[in-house]
Structure 1
Amino acid sequence: MKCIIIEDHAPAQHILQKYIRSTEALKLEMTCCDALEASTYLHDHSIDLIFLDINLPRFSGMEFLRSAQNHPLTILTTAYSEFALESYQFNVVDYLLKPFSFERFTQAVEKVMTMTQSIQQVGQEHATPADKYVYIKSSHDLVKLNRDDIIFIKSDSDYTEVITASNKYLTSEPLKDWVAKLNDDFKQVHKSYIINTAHLTKISHNKIYLTVDQVIPIGRAFKKHFMEKLLKFTGS
């Protein structure tokens, strides 16, 4: 994690620099003597964590917290405890009262790491691509399916079968509509079949073997293009 120190006293700077150098997860990018200098630096640089003193010249640490928008996670380092409660409104993870030991410093950093991991996990969950799911009209139901669960799709006269490992869904959507809505993992290999290549286990002659013990034929009109795209050579 990239971090900066905002501290005007040299001895306190040296202690923090020593602790940060002794912490593998941290990389010190800058030591600032006041909050205005830090604000200028943060405007042009991406930082994960701030070690912030409260009693600073010109612009106090609390004023910095109140004025800054979307500032990085912050650990306060101060000799004054009276601002502890207010500080937690401003993205402050921990409050280190000087003088503090390396063990106490490490505990604060571990809090930051835990919080960062939680934020990343939530971000990943909410960053799920919209095209990860597909909706199908099956009978009187609208069913939401994860595309990765679809093994193959088969066209059969007036309806289409969507096959997963646990279910089969019948829909009136024609196969050509499925070709348009699916991603590159899905290949049409026959006039009546689309397969999810993630579930392909073997190709033998003009047959494709899938993970559900299904054998799908490769149509003559589709074989050359399919083999070139998937296997990077020209089929016979």
Structure 2
Amino acid sequence: MIRCIIIEDQPPAQRVLQKFIGDMENMELKATFTDALKAMDFLYSETIDLIFLDIHLPKISGIEFLKALPNKPNVILTTAFSEYALESYEYHVLDYLLKPFSFERFVKAISKVPVAIRDKKIGSTTKENNFSPEILFIKSGRDHLKILVEDILYIQSGADYTEIFTSKKKHLTSFSLKHWLQTLPIAQFTQVHKSYIVNTRKILKVSGNSIFFDTETLVPIGRAFKEEFVDEYLN
């Protein structure tokens, strides 16, 4: 069973894809999105096998969305513009459907999904989400600001918000600390205090119960987290 999502801002194109997917016995449509940022939020908590992705989208383009996906699901592009075909294949998409496309052409694209996924039974998926972004888009007013995950020093939680700190500035978000623990790569980010997550690659030194990122920037280590942090990263 192929679990898929649609990222497409045009209702007629959405309806065509929804109809074609519904006609396939081995496909399950999990969600339809009109912009890629909403789809990215969905991928933080859900695991899917295939994305039908338009290139011309509001807020960020389909190509920019592809660049932000490190552990990429299979992607089939759906667009009315053939000039993007060559660039899209740099991101190892399965196929490129040029609108309008027939059901026969749709089926041909689906046939390129790996057999192991097409033959997978419902309920056989792992519960762990493998989506670990290299880029985050943080909403600021009407804009969405791009942050490289590698630039994050630490994340601090407040009452009902979190702040992402980089070496240059901080960004206020409405997401919880738990959200970032589930979103960011576990090999790189760890919780060291009830209110802090740190990027272990950015640590300059550890002194007592404090983690330093430079001579002035430090984060406390909570008593409940110290033993695990020391065992995992300092031994």
TM-score (norm 2): 0.48
Structure whose CA Rg is larger: 1
Higher share in helix = 1
**TM superposition score normalised by structure 1:** 0.48
Specify which structure has the bigger relative contact order, considering alpha-carbon pairs within 8 angstroms and separated by 6 or more residues. Answer: 2
